Amino acid sequence: MTPMYNRPQGAPPLASNCCIKCGAELKNVEIGLTKKMVNRGTKEFMCLKCLSEFTGVSEQELLDKAEHFKKMGCILF
Ligand SMILES: [Zn+2]
């Protein structure tokens, strides 16, 4: 499947925020998931572990959702 867009190699991450609960450095996927699961307009993001606790969705399920969104071509991921 051809991706709908390509980010240049070595591009900086979309955001360099840290988890608002535990301060862990965030991956793009965690930022995207926070937007999807909590609030699309949020400026505060959670790591996978804290997001899992917050939403009651298991970490594995969150990752599965992220994969799904990626396949749909969601620009958040
Ligand atoms: Zn955290």
Torsion region of 50: left, alpha or beta (phi above 0 gives left; psi -120 to 50 gives alpha) = alpha
Cα 47 to ligand 1 centre (Å): 4
The rounded Å distance from CA 21 to ligand 1 centre is 5
Domain spans, the chain: 28-71
Query: What tens digit of pLDDT does each residue of 27-55 get?
Result: 999 999 999 999 989 989 999 999 999 99
Q: What percent of the chain has pLDDT over 90?
A: 62
pTM of the model: 0.73
Centre of ligand 1 from the C-alpha of residue 46, in Å: 5
Q: What is the Å distance from ligand 1's center to 4 Cα? A: 30
Q: What is the pLDDT of residue 7?
A: 55
21 CA to centre of own chain: 15
pLDDT at 75: 74
How many angstroms separate the alpha carbon of residue 23 from the centre of ligand 1?
6
